[in-house]
């Protein structure tokens, strides 16, 4: 079966626009959490979010796309372009020898929240001015599949494409599905996830979920695996990866390979109240089996890291069961950005690939006291130099989704 | 007599509703340039038509709108309807 390699990637997060800026912040432990400043958040129980700063949409998008895109789609479009540039692919312009044709390239992007901010503005017009004032672009700007569609249209990527929704697990599932698409014969797939819902309506919806931290100090608000964990901070952004058939990459002389997607698995939890354990452990085992690897082969785990004590405990249990107590270094750089929902898994995947490249595992900032019985070797305080050859990335989506991806060094 | 809606007004509405970019900026003389060449698709025209209705009280039916190929055709329809006080078929004047 053909190999799926990563030949390009990009990120837009509260701690960086672009791969190297984000990675530098991760290794420096620089967080991007602060009080929401896009509306008056003072009356809400939760006020902190990871917000992207300094993103001027008009600098990154053609003017024609501005009236029809939500902020999340603008991030998706900017990242897709950066990732394709990174991969050395310019659809439509370099149909030279070896270059993939339009039907050889697909798009699979996950969004958990859709276009909240755009929709909120249009709803305001609906209620205050009347239905005929609502933008015709509302018809698709809200929709979970819009990122996939807009990326496909902008770059002329006409191959098999999809949108996946599985809350925070969706972004890893999208990458898993991209690999499946490549194995079915599509040369290249633009894959990943992105989310943003920091308008009043989106904020209310997030708070209604009951897992958003009410802490007021950015360094104390999202403490994955800490005994003081009290929920998560919502963030915005995501990552886009170019998942490509290894032969295709060779054929066109791709400038780089960050790694291989060696394994993927998705599982679904039993219904609440069943008494049966979470299916996260099974996702890990299935992803390892899919990769033809054992627990011993994994150099680091990028955890889902919910920041909610019972969920942290469940994840720690699954990792202990597979790797043994303190059996593998575990980390959660998302402490710096907040949870990015559809974008979360792909950002972790990007960091995992950079860990393989640079031989360094980022730390989990802010978390200080991990309960002893978790049995976790959590990388804390500072990055750890480790010559990792393979990494496991985990994501859980609310209401039962589990997703696991194994990535390995490009030459392994 | 001045037309109720001139090209500059239409240009402003098109840009506000559907954006502009370097590739097909609606600068210069675009009166007879097809909307498709300008990069304005049916959704862009629907959005613009909604604005024209709000500003000029001229309501163009969707099926009439999709038959309009150029800015000149759109201007003629709107201005003709307002001037005549007797709208063309598929057009209502408030």
SS3 readout for A76-91 = HHHHHHHHHHHHCCCC
B1 located within any domain: no
Query: So what's the pLDDT on residue B26?
Result: 57
Domain with B11 in it: what CATH number?
A: 1.10.1200.10
B58 located within any domain: yes
CATH fold match for the domains A4-259 and A262-408: yes
Q: How many beta-carbon contacts under 8 Å exist across A and B?
A: 37
Q: Which of A279, A284, A355, A287 is nearest to A324 (CA)?
A: A284
- Range of the structural domain that residue B60 is part of: 7-93
Provide the pLDDT confidence category of residue A26 given band limits of 50, 70 and 90: very high
Distance of alpha carbon A6 from alpha carbon A246, whole angstroms: 9
pLDDT tens column, A359-376 = 999 999 999 999 999 999
B69 located within any domain: yes
What average pLDDT score do residues A372-392 get?
A: 98
Q: Apex CA A196: angle with CA B13 and CA A219, to 5°?
A: 140
Query: So what's the pLDDT on residue A219?
Result: 97
Boundaries of every domain in chain A: 4-259, 262-408
Asked if the C-beta of A59 comes within 8 angstroms of chain B's C-beta atoms, the answer is no
Chain B interface test: which of A132, A136, A153 (most B C-beta within 10 Å): A136
Provide the pLDDT confidence category of residue B22 given band limits of 50, 70 and 90: low
Q: Which of A403, A237, A193 is nearest to A334 (CA)?
A: A237
Kindly list the residues from chain A whose CB atom is less than 8 angstroms away from the CB atom of residue B54.
Answer: 132-133
Mean pLDDT over the full length of chain A: 96
Query: So what's the pLDDT on residue A266?
Result: 98
ipTM: 0.83
Query: Cβ-count burial of A9 within 10 angstroms (0-12 exposed, 13-18 middle, 19+ buried)?
Result: buried
Q: What is chain B's length?
A: 94
For residue A150, pLDDT over 60 is answered with yes
B14 located within any domain: yes
Fold (topology level) of A262-408 = Peroxisomal Thiolase; Chain A, domain 1 (3.40.47)
Kindly list the residues from chain B whose CB atom is less than 8 angstroms away from the CB atom of residue A135.
Answer: 47
For residue A313, pLDDT over 90 is answered with yes
Q: How many domains does chain B have?
A: 1
Chain A interface test: which of B47, B55, B56, B60 (most A C-beta within 10 Å): B47
- Tokens 């309807």 sit on residue: B81
Helices B71-84 and B7-18, axial angle in degrees (round to 10):
120
For residue B1, pLDDT over 50 is answered with no
- CA distance, residue B54 to nearest chain A CA (Å): 8
Q: Which CATH class is domain A4-259?
A: alpha beta
Nearest to B21 among A63, A135, A139 (CB): A63
Pair A188, A245: CB distance under 8 Å:
yes
B31 located within any domain: yes
- CA distance, residue B1 to nearest chain A CA (Å): 30
B74 located within any domain: yes
> Maximum Cα–Cα distance for chain A, whole Å?
62
For residue A267, CA distances in Å to A160, A305, A313, A316, A405 come to: 23, 17, 18, 17, 12
B68 located within any domain: yes
pLDDT tens column, A330-342 = 999 999 999 999 9
What average pLDDT score do residues A81-109 get?
A: 88
pLDDT tens column, A184-237 = 999 999 999 999 999 999 999 999 999 999 999 999 999 999 999 999 999 999
For residue A321, pLDDT over 70 is answered with yes
Kindly list the residues from chain A whose CB atom is less than 8 angstroms away from the CB atom of residue B24.
Answer: 64
Q: Do A67 and B16 touch (CB under 8 A)?
A: yes
Q: Apex CA A281: angle with CA A266 and CA A343, to 5°?
A: 45
């Amino acid at each position: 079966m053909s190999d799926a390699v990563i030949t390009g990637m990009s990120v837009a997060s509260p701690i960086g626009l672009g791969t190297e800026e984000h990675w530098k912040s991760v290794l420096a432990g620089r967080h991007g959490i602060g009080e929401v400043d896009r509306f008056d958040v003072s009356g809400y129980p939760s006020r902190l979010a990871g917000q992207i700063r300094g993103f001027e949409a008009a600098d990154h998008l053609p003017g024609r796309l501005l009236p029809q895109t939500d902020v999340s789609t603008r991030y998706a479009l900017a990242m897709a372009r950066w990732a394709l540039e990174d991969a050395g692919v310019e659809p439509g312009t370099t149909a030279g020898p070896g270059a993939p044709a339009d039907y050889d390239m697909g798009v699979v992007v996950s969004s958990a929240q859709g276009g909240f901010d755009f929709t909120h503005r249009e709803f305001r017009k609906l209620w205050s001015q009347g239905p005929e004032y609502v933008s015709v672009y509302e018809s698709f700007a809200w929709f979970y599949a819009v990122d996939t569609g807009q990326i496909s249209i902008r770059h002329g990527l006409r191959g098999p494409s999809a949108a996946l929704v599985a809350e925070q697990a969706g972004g890893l599932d999208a990458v898993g599905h991209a690999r499946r698409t490549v194995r079915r014969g599509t040369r290249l797939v633009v894959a990943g996830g992105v989310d943003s819902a920091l308008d009043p309506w989106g904020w209310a919806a997030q708070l209604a979920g009951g897992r958003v931290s009410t802490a007021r100090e950015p360094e104390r608000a999202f403490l994955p695996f800490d005994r003081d964990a009290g929920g998560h901070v919502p963030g915005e952004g995501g990552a886009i990866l170019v998942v490509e058939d290894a032969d295709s990459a060779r054929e066109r002389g791709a400038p780089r390979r960050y790694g291989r997607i060696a394994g993927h698995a998705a599982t679904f939890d039993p219904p609440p109240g069943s008494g049966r354990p979470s299916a996260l452990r099974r996702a890990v085992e299935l992803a390892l089996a899919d990769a033809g690897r054992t627990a011993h082969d994994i150099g680091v785990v990028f955890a889902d890291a919910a920041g909610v004590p019972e969920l942290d405990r469940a994840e720690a249990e699954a990792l202990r069961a597979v790797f043994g107590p303190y059996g593998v270094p575990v980390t959660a750089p998302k402490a710096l950005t907040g949870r990015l929902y559809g974008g979360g898994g792909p950002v972790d995947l990007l960091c995992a690939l950079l860990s393989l490249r640079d031989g360094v595992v980022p730390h989990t900032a802010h978390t200080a006291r991990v309960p002893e019985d978790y049995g976790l070797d959590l990388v804390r305080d500072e990055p750890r130099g480790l010559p990792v050859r393979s990494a496991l990335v985990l994501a859980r989506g609310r209401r039962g989704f589990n997703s696991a991806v194994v990535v390995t060094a490009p030459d392994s | 007599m001045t037309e109720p809606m001139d090209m500059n007004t239409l240009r402003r509405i098109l840009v506000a509703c559907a954006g502009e970019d370097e590739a097909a900026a609606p600068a210069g003389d675009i009166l007879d340039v097809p909307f498709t060449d300008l990069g304005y698709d049916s959704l862009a025209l629907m959005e613009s038509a909604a604005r024209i209705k709000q500003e000029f009280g001229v309501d163009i039916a969707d099926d009439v709108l999709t038959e309009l190929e150029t800015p000149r055709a759109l201007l003629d329809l709107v201005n003709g309807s307002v001037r005549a006080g007797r709208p063309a078929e598929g057009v209502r004047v408030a």
